[in-house]
């Protein structure tokens, strides 16, 4: 594998210059972090139970927080999850690392989406699997391809992001979810369902997780980064108890337990606030930014430039005509202090040179306008 | 390897019953956690810089915190550490996991102390090394044995705890530190120097870390768990920059970065408080508990029961006469609601059946008196 990480690190360093408009990162909008509410929760748990919230705690995590997570799955999607099927982690990235640790042996076949989430590629790579990938279309993974690869390679697991995928912004349709579940279930293949963006929805459509259709082999990862705050690094794994037992053993060796103060702060924050209203507010702002960006792309970009129409999340995915390089696009945009992320690093086996990931959650409407105008000008003046 | 983990988990569950006096755990004394000071620091960083302290941050960690750690090494021991040689982790356990990840390939020889820290055995085991161990005497590792094993097995690294070792409570003398450094340096063998207890000293003797005598191959791990609070899971790795680069790559894949809110809280707490005075207070209390425990052991135990005289840390180590089982001691003590930890799990290759780890940091003077009296009675009435 090439080392996309260091390339992206370099890009993100460049884009931190204050004069740069950045569509390259994946940061939640800081104006939507409820610092007052979180501050109150922090003050309260330390004042009322300081010696406990600052002491060592259990590997599985704070029970009321695990209960909240289980309840929410059950209420939103009619799942049947118990708190014993939830383990608190330092965010989704650690969930992926721990799952890689327990599932992947060297040389195992591991199936990804194409394009696929870079953080998962990085985590899993440490355990030296052989990667395969299934193409995404607008409705989700190509299930014919999925069946073929599963028949041929017997992968240990399939990793995907059915809601507002990173990087493509695509959401699987309900029908496609059921098809994917059937294929995986029939082959006893684990699905690692990364649901970092499931709460960031721009429509009222309820899309139940794939796990609903394959409870025995469904493993979900979730995160408070996008709905409360990312700086506390709080996420979870939701899986059958025998999987959670193994994750707990790996977690204990990895760092004993997740930051207990932050678990207590988040649990207090969720108890004292209407989290649905907070999430609705985040979704309203992101939808407005997304709508503006997509509308400007439709108006200003030449018709040869294709883009996705996200139903949630934080990203739009651009596909340029074959032969048009998104690395060149990156360079031309940077000359005008606009940062966009080339899509190639999201293809573990190369390709995607004509794709680019565009973030809309962290730029103001003014900067979205400016940035898309810059891109439109570049596209309209493009010389092969 | 047997699975000591689950055994210890079981023990720690039993010992959580309120009627049990526990010498079995390794918890800091909760009365010494400065909940007011930490609460003020939390309130301040969230109020003054909330949107930043709750946002994603850098993998290496908060620079002023890394500067504090480097400065403290340099002032206390005359080291020459820069902030670029410090990376913030989720406590010592994660430091060990990340170091295992970057240093250990399957089948590599890894050298431990005998007895050795269980958390390190657990972390390193995941990377499937072949373990070897060097015996500890009252002054540190047996350097003749150390040389022999290094000659024969060429271990990738030696892992040890020179200050108030867990479980034995032994501290290496300065002379022994220099000898260990020389042996390791001559063989280009890395020393992972776990310094979780270095600040918990009961004497004024300055014991410079082994790293001082082998800067090129010295890797240290440190922790705020024993001097500020364990619940925030904050520690660090101190190593040459080329090692830190590798640790950063592993850390990024493991969980992106350590909890940024907690990094900022600790940095603020250290800026606003006299940490030397806080540590002096913790040491005074622990020394008092340790002195009491050791005095009672000397007075009440039969002379066949040997124990260490800790110069710091949280543990006394008992050695019973050969053939006297510390597992039986555990059972007899539990009948009287006293928990002590059998030493066998600290021997990766078996042995130590006549040893026991006794914690003094987390029991009141009254309970220390009661507990040692119970043990003395058991020893005096022991039937082979």
* Count of alpha carbons within 13 angstroms of residue A285, beta-carbon side: 17
Question: Position of tokens 């909890």?
Answer: B259
Cβ <8 Å between A90 and B255 = yes
Q: What percent of chain B shows pLDDT beyond 90?
A: 92
- Which of A261, A263, A264, A266 to mutate: most B Cβ within 10 Å? A261
CA of A25: how far to CAs of A94, A252, A365, B42, B367, in Å?
Answer: 20, 31, 16, 28, 55
Q: Are B195 and B162 in contact (CB under 8 A)?
A: yes
Cβ <8 Å between A126 and B257 = no
Cβ <8 Å between A36 and B42 = no
pLDDT attached to residue A3: 37
Q: For residue A32, which of A372, A374, A282 has the smallest C-alpha distance? A: A282
CA of A304: how far to CAs of A270, A379, A381, B209, in Å?
Answer: 46, 9, 13, 64
Residue A203 burial (CB count, 10 A)? 11
pLDDT attached to residue B236: 98
- Domain-ending residue, one of B242, B272, B302: B272
Q: Are residues A179 and A282 in the same domain?
A: no
- Which of B49, B125, B229, B233 to mutate: most A Cβ within 10 Å? B233
Task: Tell me the count of A-B CB pairs closer than 8 A.
Answer: 174
Please give the mean pLDDT across all residues of chain B: 94
Smallest CA–CA distance from A93 into chain B, residue: B255
- Which of B227, B259, B269 to mutate: most A Cβ within 10 Å? B259
Q: Are residues A264 and A363 in the same domain?
A: no
Q: Are residues A16 and A51 in the same domain?
A: no
Cβ <8 Å between A230 and B54 = yes
In this structure, the strands spanning B355-359 and B140-141 are unpaired
Domain count, chain A: 2
Q: Are residues A42 and A95 in the same domain?
A: yes
Q: Are A59 and A247 in contact (CB under 8 A)?
A: no
Alpha-carbon distance B299 to nearest alpha carbon in chain A (angstroms): 33
Cβ <8 Å between A261 and B33 = no
pLDDT attached to residue B13: 72
Q: Are A90 and A247 in contact (CB under 8 A)?
A: no
- Structural domain of residue B189, as residue ranges? 35-272
Q: Are B24 and B12 in contact (CB under 8 A)?
A: yes
Would you say residue B57 has pLDDT above 70? yes
Residues 6+ apart with CB under 8 A from A51: B30, B31, B33, B35
Distance between CA atoms of residues A166 and A118, nearest Å = 8
Span A261-311, pLDDT tens digits:
999 999 999 999 999 999 999 999 999 999 999 999 999 999 999 999 999
Q: Please tell me which of the candidates B94, B231, B255 has its beta carbon nearest to residue A54.
A: B231
Distance between CA atoms of residues B354 and B320, nearest Å = 5
pLDDT attached to residue A9: 67
* Count of alpha carbons within 13 angstroms of residue A208, beta-carbon side: 17
Q: Are A95 and A159 in contact (CB under 8 A)?
A: no
Q: Are B374 and B338 in contact (CB under 8 A)?
A: yes
B254 vs A contacts (CB less than 8 Å): 93-94, 97, 123, 254
Alpha-carbon distance B383 to nearest alpha carbon in chain A (angstroms): 38
Q: Are residues B165 and B247 in the same domain?
A: yes
B250 vs A contacts (CB less than 8 Å): 126
Alpha-carbon distance A64 to nearest alpha carbon in chain B (angstroms): 17
Q: Are B245 and B54 in contact (CB under 8 A)?
A: no
Report ipTM (2 d.p.). 0.93
- Domain-ending residue, one of A237, A272, A307: A272
Cβ <8 Å between A43 and B47 = no
pLDDT attached to residue B15: 72
pLDDT attached to residue A166: 95
pLDDT-based confidence at B291, cuts 50/70/90?
A: very high
Q: Are residues B75 and B22 in the same domain?
A: no
Q: Are residues A246 and A282 in the same domain?
A: no
Q: Are residues A255 and A311 in the same domain?
A: no
Distance between CA atoms of residues A69 and A65, nearest Å = 6
pLDDT attached to residue A13: 72
Would you say residue A22 has pLDDT above 50? yes
Smallest CA–CA distance from B101 into chain A, residue: A126
Cβ <8 Å between B258 and A233 = yes
Span A153-203, pLDDT tens digits:
999 999 999 999 999 999 999 999 999 999 999 999 999 999 999 999 999
Cβ <8 Å between A50 and B31 = no
- Domain-ending residue, one of A231, A254, A272: A272
Would you say residue B175 has pLDDT above 90? yes
Would you say residue A16 has pLDDT above 80? no
Smallest CA–CA distance from B258 into chain A, residue: A233
Which tokens go with B303?
A: 């002379």
Q: Are residues B337 and B254 in the same domain?
A: no
Which tokens go with A359?
A: 């973030």
- Which of B261, B262, B269, B361 to mutate: most A Cβ within 10 Å? B261
Would you call B29 helix, strand, or coil by DSSP?
A: coil
pTM assigned to the model? 0.94
Q: Please tell me which of the candidates A51, A91, A256 has its beta carbon nearest to residue B35.
A: A51
- Which of B22, B52, B54 to mutate: most A Cβ within 10 Å? B54
Q: DSSP string of B159-219?
A: EE--SS-TTT-----HHHHHHHHHHHHHTT-EEEEE-TTTT-BSS------GGGG-TTTEE
Cβ <8 Å between A255 and B91 = yes
Alpha-carbon distance A148 to nearest alpha carbon in chain B (angstroms): 30
Alpha-carbon distance B198 to nearest alpha carbon in chain A (angstroms): 19
Q: Please tell me which of the candidates A126, A231, A261 has its beta carbon nearest to residue B57.
A: A231
Cβ <8 Å between B5 and A50 = no
Distance between CA atoms of residues A361 and A26, nearest Å = 8
Span B104-158, pLDDT tens digits:
999 999 999 999 999 999 999 989 999 999 999 999 999 999 999 999 999 999 9
Cβ <8 Å between B93 and A230 = no
Q: Are residues B344 and B356 in the same domain?
A: yes
Q: Are residues A309 and A321 in the same domain?
A: yes
What CATH number has the domain bearing residue A309?
A: 3.90.1150.10
Would you say residue A17 has pLDDT above 50? yes
pLDDT-based confidence at A4, cuts 50/70/90?
A: very low
Would you say residue B80 has pLDDT above 50? yes
Please give the mean pLDDT across all residues of chain A: 94
Smallest CA–CA distance from A266 into chain B, residue: B54
Residues 6+ apart with CB under 8 A from A335: none
Cβ <8 Å between A253 and B123 = yes
- Which of B37, B56, B103 to mutate: most A Cβ within 10 Å? B56
What CATH number has the domain bearing residue B63?
A: 3.40.640.10
pLDDT-based confidence at B245, cuts 50/70/90?
A: very high
Q: Are residues B110 and B184 in the same domain?
A: yes
Cβ <8 Å between A255 and B233 = yes
Q: Please tell me which of the candidates B33, B119, B250 has its beta carbon nearest to residue A51.
A: B33
The residue ranking higher by pLDDT, A299 or A384, is A299
Alpha-carbon distance B261 to nearest alpha carbon in chain A (angstroms): 6
What's the average model confidence in pLDDT over A45-51? Answer: 96
């Amino acid at each position: 594998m090439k080392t996309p990480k260091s390339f992206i690190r370099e890009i993100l360093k460049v884009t931190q210059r204050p004069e740069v408009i950045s569509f390259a990162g994946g940061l939640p909008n800081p104006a939507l972090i409820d610092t007052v509410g979180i501050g109150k929760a922090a003050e309260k748990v330390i004042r009322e139970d300081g010696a406990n919230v600052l002491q060592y705690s259990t590997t599985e995590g704070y029970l009321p927080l695990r209960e909240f997570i289980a309840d929410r799955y059950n209420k939103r999607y009619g799942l049947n999850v118990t708190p014993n099927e939830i383990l608190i982690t330092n965010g989704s990235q650690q969930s992926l690392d721990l799952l890689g640790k327990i599932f992947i042996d060297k040389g195992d076949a591991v199936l990804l989406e194409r394009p696929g989430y870079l953080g998962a590629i990085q985590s899993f790579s440490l355990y030296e699997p052989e990667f395969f990938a299934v193409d995404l279309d607008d409705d989700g993974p190509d299930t014919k391809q999925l069946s073929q690869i599963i028949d041929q390679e017997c992968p240990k697991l399939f990793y995907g992001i059915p809601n507002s995928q990173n990087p493509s912004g695509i959401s699987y349709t309900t029908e496609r979810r059921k098809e994917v579940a059937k294929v995986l279930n029939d082959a006893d293949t684990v699905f690692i369902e990364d649901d970092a963006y499931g709460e960031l929805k721009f429509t009222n459509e309820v899309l139940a997780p794939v796990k609903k259709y394959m409870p025995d082999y469904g493993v979900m990862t979730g995160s408070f980064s996008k709905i409360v705050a990312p700086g506390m690094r709080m996420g979870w794994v939701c899986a059958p108890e025998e999987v959670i037992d193994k994750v707990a053993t790996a977690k204990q060796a990895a760092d004993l337990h997740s930051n207990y103060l932050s678990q207590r702060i988040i649990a207090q924050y969720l108890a004292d606030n209407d989290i649905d209203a907070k999430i609705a507010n985040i979704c309203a702002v992101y939808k407005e930014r997304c709508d503006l960006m997509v509308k400007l792309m439709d108006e200003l970009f030449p018709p040869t430039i294709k883009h996705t129409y996200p139903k949630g999340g934080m990203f739009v995915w651009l596909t340029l005509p074959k032969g048009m390089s998104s690395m060149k696009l990156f360079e031309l945009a940077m000359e005008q202090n606009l940062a966009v992320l080339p899509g190639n690093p999201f293809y573990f086996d190369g390709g995607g040179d004509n794709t680019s990931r565009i973030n809309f959650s962290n730029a103001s409407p003014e900067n979205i306008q400016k940035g898309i105008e810059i891109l439109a000008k570049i596209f309209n003046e493009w010389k092969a």
